[in-house]
A = this chain, B = another copy of it.
Amino acid sequence: MSSASAKNKAAAAQETADADALRAMLDTMWTARAFEERASELYAEGEIKGLLHLGIGQEGVSIGACSVLDPGDVVYGTHRPHVHAIAKGADITKLMAELAGRSTGYCGGKGGSMHVAAPEVGFITATGIVAGNIPLGLGAADEFKRRGSKKIAVVFHGDGASQTGSFHESINIASLWKLPLVMICENNGWAEFTPLSSHTNVERLAVHAETYGIPTVTIDGNDAFAVREAVAVAVERARSGGGPTFIECLTQRLRGHYEGDPGKYRELSQLEEWKKKDPIQRFMVALAERGVEFDADKVEQAARDRVEVAIKEALAGPLPTEADVASQVYA
């Protein structure tokens, strides 16, 4: 075999691998979407309780980002964590069981939506404290660096988190110690019912990274391709000792802040506009443009079917009992 044809073969193999990876991303996006749409319904039906923050409309960010992570890399999510967890490979049955307060959930029901943890797939934890996960990811990155490991840490956080002290203390330390950390800001323009412009005069949050000489880009977070590419660069940098990266992803949440939010603070007239930018639809267009083959209906339906199976199994799971109430307090 000539070296040229070997190269061709390698390129073809690579293309197939890439196409597979991209199709997997689409699967994940639909899975997350179907999962959350059904979670919303189950919440309305009273099958799920608690505070439920959905990431519908923001899937491009974390699914794009996690598509270039290794299984051993770790992710720390926010109060809006389902998509983050699914992006990192969390089992949707255990995730749904957790939301529904079953003992078969990831945390045996102790965590619920806001504190779900799936460390077995590298989704270490979510948090109910805005910006609370940023120092956690920072510390994981420091531990990886200390060990000389090639693993990296990723934190997702919202635009609202960027006015917290923890955000600023963390970004300083990430830069100072040159840690393998990728900070990914899901800038959806809102913190609860308040727009970003009422919380800061800073227009581009990427500016905060520039202050510290941290490489940064602001990208369209609803373009999962763009996210994937930007994060790939950041991951490569982090893995090779080049330190942290800050990626500001502009996105929109298509639901209320939490399930039950009447949402009066937003111009609902814009909802149609936003829906046109739906990251899943856009990703499908992009895939088609790149010649990646897929059957849109089948992919969506398969995801919805997976979710139904997961729900069935999750809701069939037993409830936790008295013995669980005060167990696992100390390790």
Contact = CB atoms under 8 A, between A and B. Distances in A.
Interface of A: 163-169, 172, 175-176, 198-202, 207-208, 211-213
A175 B200 CA distance: 8
Contacts of A201: 172, 175-176, 212-213
A207 B199 contact: no
A167 B176 CA distance: 18
Contact of A211 (B169, B172, B202): B202
A142 to B, nearest CB: 15
Contacts of A200: 172, 175-176, 212
Given A163-B172, A200-B212, A202-B211, 10 more contacts: A163-B169, A164-B169, A165-B168, A168-B168, A168-B169, A172-B200, A175-B200, A175-B201, A201-B212, A208-B211
A307 to B, nearest CB: 40
A167 B166 CA distance: 11
Contact of A202 (B163, B199, B212): B212
Q: Is the interface of A mostly helix, strand, loop or mixed?
A: helix
Nearest to A131: B165
5 contacts: A165-B169, A168-B168, A172-B201, A176-B198, A201-B213
Nearest to A200: B172
Interface centre among A165, A201, A202, A207 (most CB of B within 10 A): A201
Nearest to A207: B211
Given A200-B172, A200-B176, A201-B175, A165 B166 contact: yes
A163 B177 CA distance: 14
A195 to B, nearest CB: 12
Contacts of A212: 200-202
A205 to B, nearest CB: 10
Contacts of A213: 201
A109 B202 CA distance: 44
A240 to B, nearest CB: 19
A244 to B, nearest CB: 11
A164 B199 CA distance: 19
Contacts of A175: 200-201
Contacts of A167: 168
A175 B165 CA distance: 16
Nearest to A197: B176
Contacts of A211: 202, 207-208, 211
Nearest to A243: B201
A196 to B, nearest CB: 11
A265 to B, nearest CB: 18
A202 B169 CA distance: 13
A199 to B, nearest CB: 7
A154 to B, nearest CB: 21
